[in-house]
Each structure stands twice: as C-alpha cells, then as structure tokens.
Structure 1
Amino acid sequence: MKKLIFILCCLLEAVVLQAQPPRQSRIVTDTIYSEVLQAKRAYTIFLPQSFDKEKDRRYPILYLLHGMWENNSVWASRGHVKDVMDRLTASGEACEMIIVTPDAGGGNPDVYWNGYFDMPEWEYETFFYNEFLPYIEKTYRVIGDKQHRAIAGLSMGGGGATSYGQRHTDMFAAVYAMSALMSIPEAGAARFDNPDGKLATLTRSVIENSCVNYVLESDDARKEQLRSVSWFVDCGDDDFLLDRNIEFFQAMRNAGIPCQFRVRDGGHDWEYWHSALYTCLPFVSRHFIGNGIK
C-alpha cells in the first residue's frame, strides 16, 4: 500500500510540474534616484529566462540606448526586444544576457533635456557612469567586466553608444550603432533663436563629442585602444544620417580600426531598428567571453 501511495504521489508531482508554465523572460521598469541630476530616472530592463531560478548566476549585459524624443520604454514597446531575445536564445543565436535601457530624455528636446553627454544642468554621462551603471550591475547580478559588457543604440543613442565606446574602451567589448548621430558638421548645424535652449545645447554637445573627429584626431595609442573594441555600424540607405555613418566608417578604415559596416534597405524608423536587433544581439553575444555562441 505504501508503495502504491508513493507511486501515486510521484505521478501527481509529475502532472503538476508539466502543468506549470515554462520559465519566462520578463521586462521590468523601475527608477533610480540620481544625486547628480537631482531627480528620479526611469529604466527598463530585460531579464532572461533563467534569472529568477538560477539565483547564483551572473550575466553579461547590453546597454541599449534610445533616440531623441523617446524614453527608456521604447525598445520594449516598439523594438519588441523581449520577443527578439526569446527567439534568438531559443535558436542558440544569442546567449542569455541582461539588456537595460536608461532614460536619457523622454520628450520634446526644446522642452526637456535629452542626450548622453554632460551639459550645463544635465550631467548625464556623469550620472550614467557614477550612479546608473554601478547600481544596475550590483542589483541585477551582472558579471561586470569589459569582456561581458556591450553598448548599442539608435540615432542619438547610436551616437551616444559609439562615443561611450570610444572614450571608455576599457569598459566595453562591443559597440553596435544603428542609424547613429555620429556627428553634426558645423556648417550644417541648425541655427537657433535661443542659443541657450535645450536643443541648441544638445546640438553643441554632439558637435563637441563628434565620433568622426574622435577617430580623425586619434594618435597611435588611442587607435590601439579603439582596436580593443568590436565595432558594428548599421544604417539604412534612405536614412538622413547615412553620410555621417559613411564618414565614421571611412575614418575607422583609414585609421586601421576594424569595423563592420552594413547598409540595408530602409530609413530612420522602427521597422529598421527592430530588424537590426536580429543582427545586433548575436553580434554582441559572439563577443561575450565564454558564451558558447559562434
């Protein structure tokens, strides 16, 4: 009788386990208070399927930056990053990783601060490196070294990701730039009625942090540092920023810095950026040490 009861209990347990839904990846939105910015800043984070079960496991991380006029939620809501990651990890094309999008603006750049650089009244880069990155990597069990950290972004965020990768080569294994605001030529910069306005200030910050000029002005030591990062530039053939991306690639090639460059059919829109994730996520996975992705 005891043996029969034991067998029935085992069968019941098996049925219960089969009835449970499979482990799911998930998207979480939260905030961090910034002493630097004197405000709360939101972020959206993708946590992989194993995150809640494997409590001692640490993960590589991708910082995924949004564009102007948008905020931290857009890669989840319009880029569908969760759906893409679930599909790519299931197929073995991408490794499990944490993906986080900070909020670097979130509205009309004439009204709200936007941008990834330090500006008067908006020391965003200081916030990112001194507060945001350490908080994320401690809170969410991130491995936390160069070999397991990457950065990517679109438009304003593509330029931000490229510039962060350039000036912090010791921190990122790979950079993936989509439709990136690599520079604004002085001659082509817009003239503003209010030169101290937020959009004018942002424009000057992009000119001052030109990703193209950073390469053109590099000495041999800086070029060697840039070679320690894996670079990928992805821009549509109908994108208004295509020339800036071509200029960046030409500067990298002339400096002898390896950089993959893709021009695909498309413009400056979410159809393009969503499709770019299918290249971006396997690319960064291949450059995370010990990921098993080839």
Structure 2
Amino acid sequence: MVTQKIVVAVVLLLASLNSQGQGFIMPPQGKIEYEVIESKVLNTTRNYSIYLPKSYKTEESRQYPILYLLHGMNDTHKGWPTRGHVEDVANQLIDGGEVREMIIVTPDAGTDWNGYFDMEGWSYERFFFEEFLPHIEGKYRVSRGKEERAIAGLSMGGGGSTVYAQKHPELFSSVYAMSALMNIPFVGGPPGLDKKLDLLTQSVIANSSIAFVEKADAATLEKLKAVNWFVDCGDDDFLLDVNIDYVRAMKKVGIPLQFRIRDGGHT
C-alpha cells in the first residue's frame, strides 16, 4: 500500500509539471566565476576565482561580507573551486543556515611564480593590497569595514593569510590558517633550489609569522588582539612543529587563538 501511494504521488507530480509545460526548477545557488585583472605592479594579468552567493544577482542593492581564500604552493586560483569544492561547501553551509551569504575570492599566486610576499621580480604583496583588494571591493558589492572581511589559506596560503593579517590587522576580522607555512621548517633551505624557489624560501623566512610575534612591540600586539586567529594542522604534517611554534609565540604574549590538531598529514 505504501509503495502504491508513492508511485501515485510521483505520477501526479510528473503530470502536474507536464501540465505546466515546464521541468523541475532548482532553487538558486551560489556560483563560481573566473575573472582576470590587469596588474601594473606585476606587469602582467592575473587570474582569480570568485564565488558569488545565491542572492547576488537578484538582490542588486545588497552588500556581502568577503573571504579571501589563498591557495598553496604549486597551485592556482582554480585549486579551491576544483579540489576544495568551495562552491558546493559554501552552498551547503549557507542553505543550512550555518553561515551568512558571502563572497569568496581566490587570487592566483602560482603558475610561473609562487608566493604571497614581495621578492625580486615578483611584488605580489604590493599587488594584493594596492591593486587586487581595491579591485575586488570596487567591482563587487562588498560590505565595508574589517568586521565584514576575513582571510584564510592552505599551506603557503595559510602563511600568507597569517602574515597579511599581522601586517594589516585593521583590515581583517578573522584569519584561518590551515597547515600553514608559518616559517621554513629547516635551516639553510633544501639543496638544489632553482632561483625562483630560493627567492620564495627566503621571502618566507623574511616574513616569518613566528618572528613577527616575537619582535612585535606592545602597540602592535594590542592590534593583533583585535583579530580572531584560528590555526588548524594535521598531526603528521611536516609543518606541525612550526605551527606549534607560532601558537606558543602567540600564547606567550597573551594573544588569544584557537588551535586544532587533526589526524592526517599535509592534505
């Protein structure tokens, strides 16, 4: 009897749809778009991916909080949308009422070069703050103020997001560092580096998030307390020790943060 009722219900539904002359209409969902920005600082074009939430195209006067989501080494702006499934995850969290609708943007710091810091031939940090962030928040309807802006990243992107917020605590309300390259976890660098990788290694050392905390004056430390800090790392991750060093440095100077160690490696 139950099976018969289900069959009848399906038949009636199909008949109703057919009588209306249309198929089943899916509810609106947020979508990933791929865009390009011209950079005078880098003297080239740079790609980026951007997730626009489900109401973005219909509520034309609404503004949205934004998350800058940075990729890891040897990856591009397509890493989070493809392997990270950002679109699906964001849609599920938003539809479930767990997070607000937001814009999520991933710049491309990879391809021929890698790195979020300024180095010889690659002034990426300048590009991010002088060109990319103003471009995004001028082109898209982004809510104003640090409370509406967060940054996160994986590996090299985790280190980049941490340092960006350390240098600009007035811009970001929250930082989520995943398996983060807080510093180079070996002395002197690995042997046989090519020039670009050597420059990247030296830039990470020069921008160590651990050293930043250790050397910060009282005024800077006070500003860091106005940011919500999150650190997340695997127990078999080769970067676990430097993440622990960072957490210890933060705790030593009294800056609150959340720290999670999960089962797994650098994945």
Q: TM-score, normalized by length of structure 2?
A: 0.90
SS at match of 1:184: coil
The yes-or-no answer on 1:203 pairing with 2:208 is no
Runs of 4+ with >4 A deviation: 15-19
State the Cα distance separating 1:131 from its structure 2 match.
0.7
Q: How many residues of Structure 1 are paired with residues of Structure 2 in the alignment?
A: 250
State the Cα distance separating 1:266 from its structure 2 match.
1.2
- Matched to 2:65, the amino acid is P
Identity %: 56
- The Cα offsets for residues 123-163 of structure 1, whole Å up to 9 and x where unpaired, read as 00111111111111111111132110000000000000000
- The Cα offsets for residues 48-85 of structure 1, whole Å up to 9 and x where unpaired, read as 00000000001000000000000000101000011111
SS at match of 2:187: helix
Structure 1: how far apart are the matches of 2:216 and 2:43? Answer: 35
The yes-or-no answer on 1:96 pairing with 2:114 is no
Structure 1: how far apart are the matches of 2:165 and 2:33? Answer: 26
Equivalent residue for 1:122? Answer: 122
State the Cα distance separating 1:179 from its structure 2 match.
0.1
- Matched to 1:42, the amino acid is N
- Matched to 1:102, the amino acid is P
State the Cα distance separating 1:190 from its structure 2 match.
2.0
- Matched to 1:90, the amino acid is D
- The Cα offsets for residues 19-65 of structure 1, whole Å up to 9 and x where unpaired, read as 54321210000101101111110000101000000000010000000
The yes-or-no answer on 1:259 pairing with 2:257 is yes
Structure 2: how far apart are the matches of 1:16 and 1:234? Answer: 51
Q: Is the 8 A contact 1:153 1:160 kept in 2?
A: yes
Structure 1: how far apart are the matches of 2:240 and 2:123? Answer: 29
Q: TM-score, normalized by length of structure 1?
A: 0.82
Q: Is the 8 A contact 1:26 1:49 kept in 2?
A: yes
- The Cα offsets for residues 74-116 of structure 1, whole Å up to 9 and x where unpaired, read as 101000011111111111111110000000012xxxxx21100
Q: Is the 8 A contact 2:185 2:241 kept in 1?
A: no
RMSD: 1.8
Q: Structure with the greater relative contact order (CA < 8 A, sep ≥ 6): 1 or 2?
A: 1
SS at match of 1:87: helix
Where do 1:63-78 residues align within 5 Å?
63-78=68-83
Q: Structure 1: where are the runs of 5+ without partners?
A: 1-11, 107-111, 270-294
Equivalent residue for 2:9? Answer: none
Equivalent of 1:221, from 213, 219, 228?
A: 219
Where do 1:29-40 residues align within 5 Å?
29-40=34-45
Structure 2: how far apart are the matches of 1:42 and 1:181? Answer: 23
The alpha-carbon distance between structure 1 residues 24 and 205, as it changes in their structure 2 partners (threshold 3 A), is same
- The Cα offsets for residues 161-212 of structure 1, whole Å up to 9 and x where unpaired, read as 0000100000000000000000125625224465xx1000000000000000
Q: Is the 8 A contact 2:229 2:257 kept in 1?
A: yes
